[in-house]
């Protein structure tokens, strides 16, 4: 570790000149690490990733693509793909998750959804992988393979496998019938930063794909890391549907289907995410993510009563999965009990830069 730190310091010093100090900034659910670089009066972020040049090239390309739309992604100051290094703008330390409250959630989510509408209406999908049926099914398999079998040590019965297959068919079908747009794929409170205008700062976009329009809205509004009252989430979602029609993302005749797409896309994401959290524990030695699974699967139980096709899946989660999960050391994080509607805060002119926040 000390040798690696010395090499990183030497690389950054060669780029910036003068004395540079590296401080741990963050790690993520993957294998990347981040360092805050102090150089004179300026601060940068050093991304230290496994040296996969294609992934770094994708990060740089998508960052530039989104910045060209007026969105706040980190500017790349230097790169060494063979070493897995990028030197980036420092967007600060205030993640949405750290500051969200009843008093500011409407404004912060309004900023985030306005930025998301710009991505969906204007970001090119050229060169992005397609979020197609096989891709969606591989993700859904994570629930069975990593949470049920490896984490809980439970081989599904024939009936349970049939229920899972039936639910997966429904979820994939509903995902593929939606308008296909640029999908960030991790648009939630841990990847959004409170910054000076334009806000939010947007991180972790390198896995973007061309896929269903409701994937990112449900990632934000039914966040695996913080929950809000169901009625409030529905109001935000309907507000975004109206904005999507206004901006040409969604056809007027499709607006009535938005909430069904939103609900079922959320089920796909939450099954996938719960499997990823189990994999992070088993494969990567990160047990802290297990505490997020009850909230994540709780969203599935929340929407299932409206969709009889999900009854067997919901029974499996309620009766066989949640009771077997380790008890979290800290309670799941919940948002405010009540908050006023925010539809008015979603209006924006997509021919211009996204609406700018007044700051927190």
Q: Does 357 map to a domain?
A: no
Alpha-carbon gap, residue 332 to 157, rounded angstroms: 30
Let me know if residue 18 belongs to a domain.
Answer: yes
Stretch 339-358: mean pLDDT, rounded? Answer: 35
Domain count, the chain: 2
Boundary (domain end) residue, out of 89, 116, 133: 89
Please check whether residues 77 and 40 belong to one and the same domain: yes
**Side-chain-side CA neighbours of residue 299 (13 Å):** 33
The pLDDT tens digits of the residues spanning 234-272 come to: 999 999 999 999 999 999 999 999 999 999 999 999 999
Segment 269-295, tens digit of pLDDT: 999 999 999 999 999 999 999 999 999
- Do 317 and 260 fall into the same domain? yes
Say whether both 105 and 81 belong to one domain.
no
Q: 316 is written with which tokens?
A: 């499996």
Q: Which of 259, 124, 98 is nearest to 189 (CA)?
A: 98
Q: What mean pLDDT do residues 104-126 have? A: 98
> Of 71, 89, 107, which marks where a domain is finished?
89
Answer yes or no: do 262 and 167 share one domain: yes
- The residue range of the domain holding 47 is 2-89
- CB-side exposure of 36: number of CA atoms within 13 Å? 13
∠ CA 49-265-220 to the nearest 5 degrees?
55
pLDDT at 338 over 50: no
What tens digit of pLDDT does each residue of 129-180 get?
999 999 999 999 999 999 999 999 999 999 999 999 999 999 999 999 999 9
For residue 83, what pLDDT band results from cuts at 50, 70 and 90?
A: confident
H or E element that contains 4: helix 2-16
Sign of CA dihedral 283, 288, 292, 297: positive
172-175 contacts at long range (C-beta below 8 A, 24 or more positions apart): 172/133, 172/136, 172/137, 172/140, 172/268, 174/260, 174/261, 174/264, 174/265, 175/131, 175/136, 175/211, 175/212, 175/215, 175/261, 175/264, 175/265, 175/268
Instruction: Report residue 20 as tokens.
Output: 């540079």
Q: Which of these three, 48, 72, 89, is where a domain ends?
A: 89
Q: Given a cut of 90, is residue 92 above it in pLDDT?
A: yes
* 232 and 287 inside one domain: yes
Domain identity same for 125 and 17:
no
- The residue with greater pLDDT, 93 or 49, is 93
Look at 353 and 96; give whichever has higher pLDDT: 96
Kindly state whether residues 75 and 181 are assigned to the same domain: no
Residue 352 domain flag: no
Closest CA to 185 of 261, 238, 130: 130
| 342: pLDDT strictly greater than 80 | no
Q: What band does 55 get if pLDDT is binned at 50, 70 and 90?
A: confident
Same domain, 39 and 127: no
pLDDT of residue 17: 87
pLDDT, mean of residues 5-10: 89
| Residue 329 scores a pLDDT above 70 | no
Q: Is residue 152 part of a domain?
A: yes
Q: Is residue 16 domain-resident?
A: yes
Confidence of residue 188 (pLDDT cuts 50, 70, 90): very high
Domain identity same for 140 and 62: no
For residue 203, give Cα distances in angstroms to 59, 97, 193: 10, 13, 8
Structural domain includes residue 356:
no
pLDDT band per the 50, 70, 90 thresholds, residue 50 = confident
pLDDT, residue 56, reads: 86
Specify whether 79 is located in the same domain as 204.
no
- The reply to whether 236 and 127 lie within a common domain is yes
Q: Output the pLDDT for position 341.
A: 31
Cis link prior to 100 (omega < 30° from 0)? Answer: no
In-domain check, residue 359: no
Verify that 211 and 68 share a domain, yes or no: no
232: CATH: 3.90.1200.10
pLDDT at 299: 98
Q: The domain that contains 63 carries what CATH number? A: 3.30.200.20
Label residue 359 by pLDDT band (50, 70, 90).
Answer: very low
Is the residue at 199 inside a domain?
yes
What is the C-alpha to C-alpha distance for residues 271 and 289, in angstroms, rounded to an integer?
14
Query: Which pLDDT belongs to residue 189?
Result: 98
Q: Tell me the whole-structure pTM to 2 decimals.
A: 0.90
Cβ neighbors of 191 (< 8 A, separation 6 or more) are: 95, 184, 202, 203, 204, 205
């Amino acid at each position: 570790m000390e040798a690696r730190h010395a090499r990183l310091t030497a690389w950054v010093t060669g780029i910036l000149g003068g004395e540079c100090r590296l401080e741990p900034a963050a790690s993520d659910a993957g294998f990347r690490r981040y360092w805050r670089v102090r150089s004179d009066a300026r601060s940068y972020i050093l991304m230290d990733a496994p040296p996969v040049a294609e992934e770094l090239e994708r990060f740089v390309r998508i960052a530039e693509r989104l910045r060209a739309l007026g969105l706040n992604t980190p500017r790349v100051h230097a790169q060494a793909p063979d070493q897995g290094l990028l030197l980036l703008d420092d967007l600060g330390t205030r993640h949405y998750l750290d500051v969200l409250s009843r008093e500011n959630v409407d404004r912060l989510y309004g900023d985030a959804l306005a930025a998301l509408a710009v991505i969906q209406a204007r970001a090119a999908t050229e060169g992005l992988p397609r979020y197609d049926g096989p891709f969606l099914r591989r993700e859904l398999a994570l629930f069975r393979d990593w949470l049920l079998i490896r984490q809980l040590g439970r081989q599904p019965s024939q009936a349970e496998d049939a229920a899972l297959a039936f639910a997966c068919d429904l979820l994939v079908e509903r995902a593929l019938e939606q308008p296909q747009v640029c999908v960030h794929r991790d648009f939630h409170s841990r990847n959004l930063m409170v910054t000076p205008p334009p806000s939010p700062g947007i991180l972790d976009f390198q896995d973007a794909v061309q896929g269903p329009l409701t994937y990112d809205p449900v990632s934000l509004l039914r966040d695996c890391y913080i929950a809000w009252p169901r009625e409030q989430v529905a109001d935000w979602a309907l507000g975004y549907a109206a904005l999507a029609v206004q901006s040409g993302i969604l056809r007027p005749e499709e607006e009535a289907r938005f909430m069904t797409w939103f609900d079922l896309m959320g089920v796909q994401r939450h099954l996938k995410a719960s499997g990823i959290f189990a994999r992070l524990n088993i494969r990567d030695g990160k047990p802290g993510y297990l505490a997020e699974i009850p909230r994540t699967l709780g969203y599935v139980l929340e929407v299932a009563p409206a969709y009889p096709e999900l009854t067997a899946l919901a029974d499996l989660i309620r009766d066989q999965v949640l009771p077997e999960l380790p008890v979290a050391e800290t309670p799941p994080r919940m948002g405010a009990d009540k908050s006023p509607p925010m539809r008015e805060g979603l209006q924006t002119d997509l021919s211009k830069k996204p609406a700018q926040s007044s700051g927190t």
